[in-house]
């Protein structure tokens, strides 16, 4: 103590006492310039305290403290300062004018203080505290506290690139004994909380929510119940977006907070997002990565399509399941270990899904799908079944697959038959490997049991073919985005055989799938073929090759094609007027029109020796050739007998789109008519 001045005046009933202390120091605290004035009048006692500065050991100063207690009243068991007001200049908060109430009950030795009107972070704070022989209780109520102001006030800086704003309201009650807090009740509400992470991969906008937490302290941990409700606003945690205004979320359960370890345990919680999903489970959250260290989700029920569009689709984009229209329900249980999914069991219930691009659809899916992260033989077989479906418009029948799923692997454990139209795809072996989406590979051994070409072409919207399609798909493998057929795919159609060798398909799911193959045809019955295409009737057999066929986006990009009659053709060779005209127009021969006008129009068809036509396609241009050169042109059909009709092509290069258009109009029902 240094330099205390005490002045006393006493004028009849009124007494005044003034004490001034220059400086007080203790434990690193310094209080300077203290002035205490005390006065009495008839029945009241007034106290006025002025402090120039209070210096904390950390060097922060509270200056200009003024406390006026104009009416200090003592009744039977308490000493209350009525209507006091305080003025204080606080570090970071600036000058404040506070409503202050001090109470003292000598009988129970209870000290009470309440402070109201503290202005901070754009809002207000009120506090109440009471001490009673070592037991204490404190109550804080905040209103309209701005988050950015609060972080500034706490001297905390958000990590680089982060921004937060919004409002916090609520109350916190804390009770304890001596220096140890023992009970806590918090009821906090956020209003319009908006935050942004670096590069915008984590962000929230206008989030309204509430947190209620009641806990007791047990051996250093807080044990109690917590409930979190998010009722408005939007959240984006890359790549998942959800709108709590449309789909509010609530999470309630027992919570154990272990401050020393930085761990929060949620026990027996109920999670519900309205119209999306609900689940019960346990979880362990950590302050450090992986944040969600452990979780068990039981009785997870997902509502489709909301659960798919919100939580599954963003993760599945770029895969076959990335663009689905879903309906129905599924229940599941899941286990998360070390921040990653470790076990998953899904039971779809009458689930419908179809690809939005129309590539495939499956309906009434049921089953029991079990997946485990562990490598090795899975303990449980998965079953997946569907009532019906389609692929590229081709109808699939009811099927049931049993699979073994674990790690990055999926494998068919028993041969399966998937009905396709009136036939079936019989899968003997199927194994797929997908390591985090980058290294996908697979293997399929299957055969196609005869499918009616008529139904197939109808489903694909092609000209109607007759015959049946059947074939082996020997060891179809998929690696580095390329599906390759190990052997030849054989199809029986049009009374002959079609064989595809070196078949491969690149980037099947991409914008521009690339298909390549070498195709050989043998002994096709021209009568059936031309009958199908309404091209004009031709009889005979047809052999041919399409070499280095390359389709991009299922459109021909390049090939070398050649078709002709086999030598020693057992079938008779006749060609109709219309077929002659159509063939001639493909070769660009104008002379064929003469056929219609001259005496030849009296003949319905003609005999011919042989026919042959080839096209080498490159860059949308088809370079045509025929059986042999004839002057400026080439023979497409060499006639025989009387009358002899030759079809000669004169055009060597044709634009492919034009050629396709010509073939289309030639095969249309209302094509050119021979008069």
Partner 1 sequence: MRALALISVIIGLPLLAACVTINVYFPAVAAEKAADRIIEDVWGPNGEGPKDNTESTDSGDEATQSRAPDGTNWAGLATARVLDWFVPAAQAAEPNIDINTPAIKRITRSMEQRHSELKPHYEAGAIGLTEDALVAVRDLNSVPLPKRSRVKQLVSEENADRNALYKEIAKANGHPEWESDIRGVFAERWIEKAPSGWYHRRGGDWKQK
What is the contact surface with partner 1 in residues (CB under 8 A)? 196, 198-201, 203-205, 234-236, 238-241, 243, 314, 317-318, 507, 510-512, 552-553, 555, 557, 619-620
Using the minimum distance from each CB to partner 1, give the nearer residue, 120 or 207: 207
- Helix 656-667 crosses helix 577-586 at what angle (to 10 degrees)? 170
Residue 545, helix vs strand vs coil: strand
Using the minimum distance from each CB to partner 1, give the nearer residue, 108 or 319: 319
- CA–CA distance, 56 with 54 (Å, rounded to integer): 7
In the numeric block, the tokens 């419908």 are attached to 352
- Smallest gap from residue 317 Cβ to partner 1 (A): 5
Using the minimum distance from each CB to partner 1, give the nearer residue, 316 or 470: 316
- CA–CA distance, 376 with 409 (Å, rounded to integer): 10
Task: Tell me the C-alpha to C-alpha distance, in Å, between residue 37 and each of 6, 19, 20, 68.
Answer: 10, 6, 9, 9
Q: How many CB atoms sit inside 10 A of residue 390's CB? A: 18
- CA–CA distance, 531 with 522 (Å, rounded to integer): 18
Task: Tell me the C-alpha to C-alpha distance, in Å, between residue 36 and each of 9, 42, 66.
Answer: 14, 20, 10
β-strand 135-146 against 123-132: which pairing, if any? antiparallel
Considering only CA atoms, which of 237, 235, 270 is closest in space to residue 252?
270
- Smallest gap from residue 654 Cβ to partner 1 (A): 15
- Smallest gap from residue 243 Cβ to partner 1 (A): 7
Residue 28 CA to chain centroid, in angstroms?
57
Using the minimum distance from each CB to partner 1, give the nearer residue, 198 or 598: 198
Considering only CA atoms, which of 269, 268, 265, 329 is closest in space to residue 302?
329
- Smallest gap from residue 251 Cβ to partner 1 (A): 21
Using the minimum distance from each CB to partner 1, give the nearer residue, 154 or 510: 510
- CA–CA distance, 186 with 170 (Å, rounded to integer): 8
233 within 8 A of 246, measured Cβ to Cβ: no
Using the minimum distance from each CB to partner 1, give the nearer residue, 243 or 629: 243
**For the chain, what is the radius of gyration of the CA atoms?**
44
- Smallest gap from residue 481 Cβ to partner 1 (A): 11
CB proximity list for 600: less than 8 A, separation 6 or greater? 577, 594, 643, 645
Residue 71 CA to chain centroid, in angstroms?
66
- Smallest gap from residue 548 Cβ to partner 1 (A): 13
- Smallest gap from residue 432 Cβ to partner 1 (A): 21
- Smallest gap from residue 128 Cβ to partner 1 (A): 40
Using the minimum distance from each CB to partner 1, give the nearer residue, 6 or 240: 240
- Smallest gap from residue 232 Cβ to partner 1 (A): 13
539 within 8 A of 531, measured Cβ to Cβ: no
188 within 8 A of 211, measured Cβ to Cβ: yes
Strand intervals (E) in 219-323: 221-237, 240-243, 249-258, 263-273, 277-286, 292-304
- CA–CA distance, 151 with 155 (Å, rounded to integer): 6
- Smallest gap from residue 198 Cβ to partner 1 (A): 8
Using the minimum distance from each CB to partner 1, give the nearer residue, 462 or 554: 554
- Smallest gap from residue 460 Cβ to partner 1 (A): 21
Using the minimum distance from each CB to partner 1, give the nearer residue, 196 or 347: 196
Using the minimum distance from each CB to partner 1, give the nearer residue, 436 or 632: 436
Burial of 590 (0-12, 13-18, 19+ CB in 10 A): exposed
Sign of the alpha-carbon dihedral angle for 457, 461, 462, 464: positive
132 within 8 A of 110, measured Cβ to Cβ: yes
- Smallest gap from residue 246 Cβ to partner 1 (A): 11
Using the minimum distance from each CB to partner 1, give the nearer residue, 204 or 378: 204
Using the minimum distance from each CB to partner 1, give the nearer residue, 157 or 511: 511
């Amino acid at each position: 103590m240094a330099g205390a001045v005490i002045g006393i005046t006493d004028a009849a009933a009124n007494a005044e006492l003034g004490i001034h202390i220059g400086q007080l120091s203790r434990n690193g605290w310094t209080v300077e310039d203290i002035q205490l004035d005390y006065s009495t009048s008839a029945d009241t006692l007034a106290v006025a305290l002025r402090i120039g500065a209070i210096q904390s050991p950390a060097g922060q100063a509270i200056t200009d403290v003024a406390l006026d207690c104009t009416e200090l009243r003592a009744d039977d068991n308490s000493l209350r300062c009525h209507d006091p007001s305080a003025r204080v200049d606080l570090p970071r908060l600036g000058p404040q004018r506070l409503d202050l109430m001090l109470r003292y009950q000598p009988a129970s030795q209870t000290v009470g203080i309440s402070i109201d009107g503290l202005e901070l972070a754009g809002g207000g704070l009120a506090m109440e505290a009471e001490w009673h022989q070592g037991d204490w209780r404190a109550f804080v109520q905040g209103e309209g506290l701005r988050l950015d102001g609060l972080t500034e006030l706490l001297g905390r800086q958000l990590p680089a690139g982060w921004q937060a704003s919004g409002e916090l309201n609520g109350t916190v009650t804390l009770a304890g004994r001596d220096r140890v807090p023992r009970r806590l009740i918090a009821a906090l509400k956020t209003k319009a909380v908006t935050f942004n992470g670096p590069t915008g991969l984590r962000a929230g906008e206008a989030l309204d929510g509430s947190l209620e937490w009641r806990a007791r302290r047990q051996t250093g941990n807080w044990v109690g119940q917590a409930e979190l409700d998010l009722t408005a606003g939007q959240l984006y945690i890359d790549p998942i977006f959800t709108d709590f205004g449309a789909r509010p979320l609530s999470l309630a359960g027992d919570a154990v907070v272990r401050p020393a370890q930085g761990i929060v345990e949620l026990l027996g919680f109920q999670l519900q997002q309205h119209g999306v999903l609900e689940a019960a489970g346990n979880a362990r959250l950590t302050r450090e990565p992986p944040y969600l260290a452990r979780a068990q989700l039981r009785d997870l029920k997902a509502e489709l399509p909301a659960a798919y569009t919100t939580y599954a689709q963003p993760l599945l984009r770029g895969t076959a399941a990335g663009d689905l229209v879903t309906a129905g329900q599924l229940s599941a249980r899941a286990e998360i270990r070390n921040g990653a999914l470790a076990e998953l069991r899904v039971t779809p219930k009458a689930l419908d899904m179809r690809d939005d691009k129309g590539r495939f659809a499956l309906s009434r899916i049921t089953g029991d799908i079990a997946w485990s992260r562990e490598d090795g033989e899975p303990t449980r077989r998965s079953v997946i079944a569907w009532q019906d479906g389609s692929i590229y418009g081709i109808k699939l029948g009811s099927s049931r697959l049993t699979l073994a799923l674990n790690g990055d692997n999926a494998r068919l454990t028993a041969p399966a038959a998937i009905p396709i139209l009136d036939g079936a795809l019989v899968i003997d072996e199927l194994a797929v490997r997908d390591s985090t989406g980058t290294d996908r590979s697979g293997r399929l051994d299957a055969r196609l049991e005869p499918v009616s070409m008529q139904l197939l072409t109808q489903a694909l919207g092609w000209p109607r073919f007759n015959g049946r399609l059947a074939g082996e798909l020997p060891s179809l493998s998929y690696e580095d985005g390329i599906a390759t057929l190990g052997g030849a795919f054989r199809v029986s159609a049009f009374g002959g055989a079609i064989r595809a060798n070196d078949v491969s398909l690149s980037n099947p799911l991409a914008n521009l799938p690339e298909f390549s193959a070498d195709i050989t045809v043998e002994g096709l019955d021209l009568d059936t073929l031309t009958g199908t295409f309404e091209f004009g009737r031709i009889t005979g057999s047809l052999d041919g090759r399409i070499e280095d066929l390359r389709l991009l986006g299922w459109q021909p990009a390049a090939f070398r094609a050649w078709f002709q009659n086999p030598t020693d053709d057992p079938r008779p060779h006749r060609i109709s007027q219309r077929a002659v005209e159509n063939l001639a127009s493909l070769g660009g021969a104008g002379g064929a029109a003469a056929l219609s006008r001259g005496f030849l129009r009296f003949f319905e068809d003609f005999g011919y020796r042989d026919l042959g036509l080839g096209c080498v396609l490159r860059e949308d241009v088809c370079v045509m050739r025929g059986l042999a050169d004839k002057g400026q042109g080439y023979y497409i059909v060499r006639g025989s007998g009387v009358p002899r009709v030759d079809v000669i092509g004169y055009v060597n290069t044709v634009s492919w789109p034009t050629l396709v258009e010509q073939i289309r109009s030639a095969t249309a029902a209302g094509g050119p008519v021979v008069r």
